[in-house]
Structure 1
Amino acid sequence: MIAVLGECVADAFADRRADGLTLRVLPGGGPANTAAALARLGTPVRFLGRLSGDVFGELFRERLAGVDLSYAVEASEPSTLAVAGLDEDGRARYGFHAEGTADWQWTERELAGPVLDGARCLHTGSLALVRPPGRDVVEAFAAAAAGRVTVSVDPNVRPSLATREAYAVERWCGFADVLRLSDEDLEFLRPGEPVERVCDEWHAAGARLVVVTKGPAGALVSLAGARAEVPAPAVDVVDTVGAGDAFTAGLLHWLDGRGLLGGRLGGLDLAAARKAATFAAGVAALACTVPGADLPADL
């Protein structure tokens, strides 16, 4: 089983009409997207999230059918809302309504006990690792899990909600075995720096596997300093919402299916890492063929 810790976000897509705007709301949030995609791929998954009792919370629960929610928190705070607009390439730009919402209010008590029992991997990141007041609780929980399970982190940068300094990637590499981020994330975090040099610094800080996704240009795989490129399948893009989250799900699903999760990835070589990333790129491409952060119904 893979455990995923983080937020659910209501993604409201704006459609302009002559009489104003209409909003089409779909369930999102990077960690929740990854959990849902893992379940669709057939990997047992547990979601550690704070789910509101509002109408969006009901939408999240429906979307996470098939995911173990036994340790999700029933939160009294409202859900986080993101209003998104799509550019001509299907990329989303978000405006967030996130003050005082459920996703950032973690307490130590809520993550205590057997929440990781049976897990081989913990995936976390995104806004849960950078938004106060819960970010310190989430980081401490992930750090304590290192060694017991494989830890995967996706920064999923959101400049409108957190500063560059909030993304303590070098510190996170001290407990993360897998670090997946986009080339846009990398440019925000380390502007103008060669990707190879940054990867090597993150390896030195502790992360064994670093994957930088590059949209239609594929992905760079860096395993303890050895590197390979993988292509992205060509598809008809509806939008790219959730593609990175789907990539992470595909990567972890492939590694789990080969018995490589559960420790510090000591049994992983570059050839296997490249195969995992190639499979993940295919999953991400499928996510681009349907609206919102989802996979095709006939997967």
Structure 2
Amino acid sequence: MSPHHITVLGECVADAFTEPPGAANELALRVLPGGGPANTAVALARLGTPDRFLARLSGDVFGRLFRAHLEASGVDLSYAVAAAEPSTLAVAELDATGQATFSFHAQNTADWQWTPEELAKVDLSETICLHTGSLALVREPGAAVIEEFLATAAAQATISIDPNVRPMLVNPQVYRDRLAHWCTLADILRLSEDDLELLLPGIPPEQACDTWHAAGVRLVVITLGSDGALASLDGERLQVPAVATPVTDTVGAGDSFTAGLLHHLGTRGLLGGRLAGLGLDEVAEACRFATRVAALTCSVAGPNPPWQHQLMQLATTDDT
């Protein structure tokens, strides 16, 4: 592991997509490894950023799928916990635009059972950024354990959080109740426009950014789908356009955007503290790069982020 790497903490989820039925009264499912934090860890590794994933991986058929997928993408699993509990399953239904709606099967599954003893074993001395979010931050008993871990890690690493609100599984009020505390821990808050509407209904993005800045977050990035992304650094704002692409589905696009953002900032030496050297120009560059990563994810089925060489091919195509 490189002396400068990113650590990601959170869940793996088996994303099951409906397939055309082969017979009457039959539902066929195609299962892909997913979960917001896992998708971000995979995307970071594929982009060339050394990263470690802190996960609780079941020994069941889905857990074995997760492990193989993560390792094949180059993710370091040296601190992954071999969990006795089953894996989390999500069934996705896609609408005509490729947007997914998930129903979760997540009661007492492996992802939420973190203990202080498990995370106490993790060495963060070489971590420049710790990223987490999604369900792992709101599902007990592990959520409170992760919050304590973030507070400890903040002494040496940039903290990045993606709320990734899942209202079908957790009441959005649970996220709202915890968000102010997360803002005291985080340096970077990345969320979608759907997250924004669930967290602060009816509040304009710019006002939301100012609210979260006042609570402690220096960089807020709100992804806006086909309208690109809005970034706010200490109240200075910019918007970058989306990259036009044929959309197969949008599963994992936000996770890939986060990975692109962190990868770009990390390669330029801007992670590892409270973002003291970060300016608006660097934020713009990072967001433009992240939109390219997200666009390539949208162009294929499921949470399948691009490899570094695919980004280079896209850049070459854009220049011609």
Structure 1 length-normalised TM: 0.98
Q: Which residue of 2 aligns with 1:143?
A: 151
Does the 8 Å contact 1:290/1:296 carry over to 2? no
Shift of 1:33: 0.2
Identify the range of structure 1 (56-65 vs 250-259) with the bigger mean alpha-carbon deviation: 56-65
Q: Which residue of 2 aligns with 1:134?
A: 142
Shift of 1:255: 0.2
Shift of 1:64: 0.5
CA deviation profile, 1:164-214 (whole Å, cap 9, x unmatched): 221122210101000000000000110001111111010011100000001
1:103 paired with 2:111, answer yes
Q: Distance in 2 between matches of 1:24 and 1:246?
A: 21
Q: Which residue of 1 aligns with 2:315?
A: none
CA deviation profile, 1:127-146 (whole Å, cap 9, x unmatched): 00001111100111112211
The residue type equivalent to 1:108 in the other structure is: P
Q: Distance in 2 between matches of 1:169 and 1:254?
A: 26
Does the 8 Å contact 1:289/1:296 carry over to 2? no
Does the 8 Å contact 2:130/2:157 carry over to 1? yes
Does the 8 Å contact 2:164/2:195 carry over to 1? yes
CA deviation profile, 1:57-105 (whole Å, cap 9, x unmatched): 1110111111110101000000000000100110110000000100000
- What secondary structure, in the 3-state scheme, does the structure 1 residue paired with 2:146 have? helix
Q: Which residue of 1 aligns with 2:314?
A: none
Q: Distance in 1 between matches of 2:155 and 2:112?
A: 25
Find the partner of 1:11 among 2, 9, 15.
15
Find the partner of 1:257 among 248, 263, 267.
267
Q: Distance in 2 between matches of 1:293 and 1:258?
A: 26
Q: Which residue of 1 aligns with 2:58?
A: 52
Shift of 1:12: 0.2
Matches within 5 A, 1:23-38: 23-38=29-44
The residue type equivalent to 2:147 in the other structure is: E
What is the RMSD of the two structures over their aligned residues, measured on CA atoms? 1.0
Q: Distance in 2 between matches of 1:173 and 1:149?
A: 15
Find the partner of 1:233 among 236, 243, 250.
243
Find the partner of 2:49 among 43, 46, 51.
43
Give identity over the alignment, percent.
64
- What secondary structure, in the 3-state scheme, does the structure 1 residue paired with 2:270 have? coil
Instruction: Report which of the two has the higher share of helix.
Output: 2
The residue type equivalent to 1:2 in the other structure is: I
Q: Which residue of 1 aligns with 2:69?
A: 63
Find the partner of 1:85 among 76, 93, 97.
93
Q: Which residue of 1 aligns with 2:291?
A: 281
Q: Which residue of 2 aligns with 1:174?
A: 184
Find the partner of 2:129 among 118, 121, 128.
121
The residue type equivalent to 2:211 in the other structure is: E
Q: Which residue of 1 aligns with 2:256?
A: 246
Shift of 1:296: 4.2
The residue type equivalent to 2:254 in the other structure is: G
Does the 8 Å contact 2:42/2:305 carry over to 1? no
Shift of 1:21: 1.3
Does the 8 Å contact 1:147/1:264 carry over to 2? no
* Off by >3 Å, runs of 4+ in structure 1: none
1:162 paired with 2:170, answer yes
- What secondary structure, in the 3-state scheme, does the structure 2 residue paired with 1:252 have? helix
Q: Which residue of 2 aligns with 1:191?
A: 201
Shift of 1:56: 0.4
Does the 8 Å contact 1:4/1:124 carry over to 2? yes
Q: Distance in 1 between matches of 2:276 and 2:193?
A: 26
Paired residues, number? 299
Q: Distance in 1 between matches of 2:62 and 2:285?
A: 37
Identify the range of structure 1 (108-117 vs 19-28) with the bigger mean alpha-carbon deviation: 108-117
Structure 2 length-normalised TM: 0.92
Identify the range of structure 1 (173-182 vs 135-144) with the bigger mean alpha-carbon deviation: 135-144
The residue type equivalent to 2:219 in the other structure is: L
Q: Which residue of 1 aligns with 2:81?
A: 73
Shift of 1:114: 3.7
Shift of 1:14: 1.1
